[in-house]
Amino acid sequence: MKSIELFAGGGGLAIGLDRSGFDAAAIIEYNKDACLTLSRNYLNRPSTKIYEGDIRKFNYSEVGNDVALVSGGPPCQPFSMGGKHKAFNDDRDMFPEAVRAIRELRPKAFIFENVKGLLREAFAEYFEYIILQLQYPLLVKEAGEEWSQHLRQLEKFHTSKNNNLDLNYKVVFRLLNAADYGVPQRRERVFIVGFRSDIDVEWSFPAPTHSSDALEWSKWVSGQYWIRHGISNPLSEVETEKRARKLRLKYGFFEPATQPWVTVRDAIADLPDPVLTSDNALNHEFKDGARSYPGHTGSYIDEPSKTLKAGGHGVPGGENMIRFEDGTLRYFTVRESARIQTFPDDYRLEGAWGEAMRQIGNAVPVRLAEAVGTSVRQVLV
């Protein structure tokens, strides 16, 4: 099925959707290093064209018709918890361009991803505005019209009897935790999914496949986690039994039906130690200088990592560090970060360390993208 990817970044969403059966005819991205990453990794895909440049100047007639899916992650800085929270007053807000793509390409479906901060109370009205624009992309804001005025017009149309247009979408959204879908990272992101109203589908977000309780069971009840990694349980028998008792009270003799959350150790155990060897894997160079300070203690090796971040002025110290069982820590290598985001090992990240980490930190985890993409494709077939 033909798809178009907007705001592609380093390509996490694109890879996941490719694995779920969509064929990207075009991938559009502004950042030079990210485009280099995409170009290098799509060399053997002549059917996919990489467009570098301002999406506001992109002509969608270049990609033709019959687009099944439009996807992308509109720049999240306007809504990020760590940003300036300017939303519609931020010139990096690209949701209007996402709506333009829907209006001009008329896809059967779309998948957009953004940060959890989009659901903050302060952005509630603007989030409603985003959803209504995606539902009715033909109702365009007039020149000089304030977004709040346009919102009122959309609300009136939405609640009227005759709210059928030539192009409408049925839209749903949900906050998903990547760890619940087999990603070794606690990463909460908002997914907005829409289907063209003339498409007869019944769809819901895919059910979680992994859980924290299943990981806890594998550690404190069955002990399989420690056995699998060939290491000892770090807790005393008393503390282990205390934790096991709580789980048995909840589940009885039967372990949780889901799979265990994937940990940092699970994700990187077979990679060579970058500190000890120069014979490194792709993008697996050691970077010194990691420090711990209050609130920035790194990601514990036997838990899913904290949310990897890009940062406006370099990579934050706490989120992109690994903390070992003895309390020592170091930065994740680019390859380890790519593992955390479930990128394939042969995927080359271009640019200096900070730029490569920015691409990784902004990406959609591949495995999560694949889970959502597969569920969408199954109802479009």
Query: Tell me, what's the pLDDT at 315?
Result: 55
C-alpha dihedral sign at 25, 28, 33, 34: negative
Query: Tell me, what's the pLDDT at 46?
Result: 84
Query: Tell me, what's the pLDDT at 349?
Result: 94
Structure pTM?
A: 0.93
Give the tokens for residue 159. 């609640």
Query: Tell me, what's the pLDDT at 316?
Result: 53
Query: Tell me, what's the pLDDT at 277?
Result: 75
Angle between helices 124-135 and 147-159 (to 10 degrees): 60
Distance CA(128)–CA(119), nearest Å, equals 10
Distance CA(17)–CA(40), nearest Å, equals 18
Question: What pLDDT tens digit does each residue of the chain (381 aa) get?
Answer: 999 999 999 999 999 999 999 999 999 999 999 999 999 999 888 889 999 999 999 999 989 889 999 999 998 555 544 444 444 544 567 899 999 999 999 999 999 999 998 999 988 999 999 999 999 999 999 999 999 999 999 999 999 988 888 999 999 999 999 999 999 999 999 999 999 999 999 999 999 999 999 999 999 999 999 999 999 999 999 999 999 999 999 999 999 999 999 999 999 999 999 998 766 678 999 988 888 888 788 999 999 999 998 854 445 556 789 999 999 999 999 999 999 999 999 999 998 888 999 999 999 999 999 999 999 999 998
Sketch the domain layout of the chain as residue ranges: 2-208+362-380, 211-257
Burial 180-191 (b: 16+ CB within 10 A, else e): bbbbbbbbebbb
C-alpha dihedral sign at 67, 374, 6, 333: negative
Nearest CA to 26 out of 40, 39, 12 is that of: 39
Give the tokens for residue 34. 């990210």
Q: Which fold has domain 2-208+362-380?
A: Rossmann fold (3.40.50)
Query: Tell me, what's the pLDDT at 276?
Result: 87
Distance CA(126)–CA(191), nearest Å, equals 16
